[in-house]
Structure 1
Amino acid sequence: MLRLVSLQLIATAVVGVLAALLGGWAAMFSAVLGGICCVVPNGIMAARLFASAQKAGGANPATFFIWEFIKIALTVALLWMTATLYHDLNWLALIAGFVVSLKSYIFLLFRH
């Protein structure tokens, strides 16, 4: 899980640099914020699932579904906050940062 979250952070940084080159500072911040809207909830969920797996009974499927719901709610809340609080938002860069961060786990599939 830590590998996935760190890969998402790297993908967010790469998209931020590309957005800065193509669209300037506002696009860079938008792309990074889009990636962070994906990375932060995934990191929290990964930490909580790791902690629950270390307990005596092991991981509970209900815990996974509860934290998945919390992750989705937190993602929506972060995207809403970004859209309302950042006035120079570049929507294309935000969506690009979010999608690249969300789908960066595909690179782990081709690692071997």
Structure 2
Amino acid sequence: MTKSTAPVTETEAQDADFKPLTAQEAHQWRQRNPPISVWRIVGCQALVGIAVALLAWLVSGKPHVAWSAAYGALAVVIPAALFARGMARQRASAGAVLVGLMGWELVKIAMTVAMLAAASRLVPELSWLALLVGMVVTMKTYWIALIVRPGVRKPVDI
């Protein structure tokens, strides 16, 4: 009797070709891809939020539009800073860190929703459009911060 095996899928073939990095290769990878501080990203978001508020004021000429855009930015920056602080204090096993990640993400979302719900009472003459623009532009800043982070050298294929 001969034992037959199932055909190898593409994923299984790729897994069979997997080779872990050596210590030197891992060191080189870390040199090309240094970690970025989460506080740098939060700081970039705050700066972009200020810029969006100033731009809203310059374009509209109305202070309440600028305050609306600034509040939208704050609805992103304050919960992100709280999330970053909570995650930075985690010193536990991988499972506990994952639970902490989910917990802090829920806190961040709840705080953002609460800030948005309170916006009409806290910002006089609230402009929802300016608030949403400030919020979305500030929220998307972390992609730019990750792309243009200093020290990242992309490998050159010759």
| Structure-1-length-normalised TM-score | 0.91
Q: C-alpha offsets along residues 34-87 of structure 1, whole Å, 9 cap, x if unaligned?
A: 0000100000000010011xx254661001001111110100000111123323
Distance 1:85 1:108, change over 3 A: closer
Q: Which has the larger radius of gyration?
A: 2
1:77 paired with 2:114, answer yes
Equivalent residue in structure 1 for 2:71, among 16, 26, 33: 33
Give the conservation status (yes or no) of the 8 Å contact 2:42–2:77: yes
Normalised TM-score (structure 2): 0.65
> After TM superposition, which residue ranges in structure 1, 4 or more long, deviate above 3 angstroms?
56-59
Higher relative CO (Cα under 8 Å, sequence separation at least 6) belongs to 1
Does 2:67 correspond to 1:63? no
Between the aligned partners of 1:69 and 1:56, the Cα distance in structure 2 is 19
Q: 1:14 aligns with which of 22, 28, 51?
A: 51
Indicate the larger mover: 24-33 or 79-88: 79-88
Equivalent residue number for residue 46 of structure 1: 84
Kindly tell me the number of residue pairs found equivalent between the two proteins: 110
Structure 1 residue runs without a partner (length 5+): none
Provide the C-alpha distance between the structure 2 equivalents of 1:56 and 1:105, rounded to a whole number of angstroms.
26
